[in-house]
Amino acid sequence: MGSRRDFVKTSVGVSAGAALGVFPKSLHGAPNVVIRRVTPTCVASANGLEAVSLAIRELANGADTIDAIVRGVNLVEQDPRDTSVGYGGLPNQDGVVQLDSSLMHGPTRGAGAVAAIEGVKRPSLVALDVMRYTDHHLLVGEGAQRFAKSMGHPIEDLVTPESRRRWIEWRARLSDQDDYLLPAESGEPVEQFRTPSEFGDGLLDSHDGFRPQGTINCDIVDANGDLSSVTTTSGLAYKIPGRVGDSPIIGAGQYCDNDVGAAGSTGRGEAVIKTCGSHTIVELMRNGMHPKDACLEALRRIVHVTVESRLRREDGRPNFSVNYYAVNKMGQYGGAAIYAGARYAVSVDGDARLEDSAYLFERADG
């Protein structure tokens, strides 16, 4: 009897970017999956163009799906120019960088996560260690850092001159009734806060119209139809210390089921947590929805449950952004955002590019 790998290798029916196959019809039934060779496909948030490219190269060199995408997001985590992830990520209200990450490995059904961890440039590697070397799925705060140290991760200062400058300016703008001087008053050049639409190609999103909120999510399927997902972030800029977003929450910031697909998110984590966003997308794909349509449907749920007036524009629509990304076991993929203008990174067998995200609403509507 041939192994599953043999079956995959000897099957025919390679088509552009996708394999042939069917999904299980029920949640618990024996997987009714017939997967033939899949074109390796990786999707990520728009700041992950190099990440998807590296991940697919790593697969070609024989890496497992989880190692491939973790190496991909490591590029962004250690890049001080990305102020939404890892080293150089914007700090919390006390000026301390607290990072979140989670990941899932499809073939072993493994999961690991860290939340509000300080001093580690690449929290996705600590999440990987949680998955591989503990009986737990989520470590937080000081305990997460102690675990990281025990596993050999260096503890470093993650604040860069640029992220400190921006935090100092944010602190000065908080109130005109304290002793902190605004840049104009102190003779420093004034930094203009950008509005969400000025974040351009979706590289950054805003939590509340002022504070930038980025993240990287990356999801992959390899030639065998095996899947993995990872999300890593510094979270909401200037957040209340201890605030944890969706990124380290398995089922919210990312989710992977090796029978079906993988999905993840960027944007306002509170909205994603409340709707179990990534798990919802995978369940919708399980029921046969295309990844793009599953992302859109999960976004509709966010819109539906956003009833707080502080979170709604005059037209009733959310005043924040969420982006979803997904790939299924057959190599079909998609990305979607609440508002038009977002893009996402994709690499299909080595050809990396940015594609326009599907969306629910035009930005100019409100």
Residues near ligand GLY, by CB under 6 A: 213, 215, 233, 235-236, 245-247, 266-269
Complex with ligand GLY: residue 23 or 324, whichever CB lies closer: 324
- Quick one: how many helices (H) and strands (E) in the chain? 10, 15
Complex with ligand GLY: residue 106 or 245, whichever CB lies closer: 245
Complex with ligand GLY: residue 98 or 224, whichever CB lies closer: 98
DSSP annotation string for 64-131? -HHHHHHHHHHHHHT-TT-TTSSTT----TTS---EEEEEEETTTTEEEEEEEE-S-S-HHHHHHHHH
User: 């041939």: which residue's tokens?
Assistant: 2
CA distance 141 to 159: 17
In the complex, least distance from residue 213 CB atom to ligand GLY, rounded to whole angstroms: 6
CA distance 131 to 197: 38
Complex with ligand GLY: residue 84 or 347, whichever CB lies closer: 84
Q: Which residue from 167, 147, 154, 273 is spatially nearest to 212, judged by alpha carbons?
A: 167
Complex with ligand GLY: residue 122 or 268, whichever CB lies closer: 268
In the complex, least distance from residue 266 CB atom to ligand GLY, rounded to whole angstroms: 5
Catalytic pick among 39, 65, 83, 215: 215
In the complex, least distance from residue 211 CB atom to ligand GLY, rounded to whole angstroms: 11
In the complex, least distance from residue 45 CB atom to ligand GLY, rounded to whole angstroms: 10
Complex with ligand GLY: residue 40 or 267, whichever CB lies closer: 267
Contact 126, 70 (CB under 8 A): no
Residue 313 sits at φ, ψ, to 5 deg, of: -75, 180
In the complex, least distance from residue 52 CB atom to ligand GLY, rounded to whole angstroms: 19
Task: Tell me the chain's radius of gyration from C-alpha atoms.
Answer: 20
Contact 282, 298 (CB under 8 A): no
Cα 363 off chain centre by: 22
Contact 42, 17 (CB under 8 A): no
**In the structure encoding, which two tokens stand for residue 191, read together?**
């930094």
Q: Which residue from 88, 163, 147, 151 is spatially nearest to 115, judged by alpha carbons?
A: 147
> Catalytic residue at 195?
no
β-pairing, 41-45 with 99-105?
Answer: unpaired
In the complex, least distance from residue 323 CB atom to ligand GLY, rounded to whole angstroms: 9
List the catalytic residues: 215
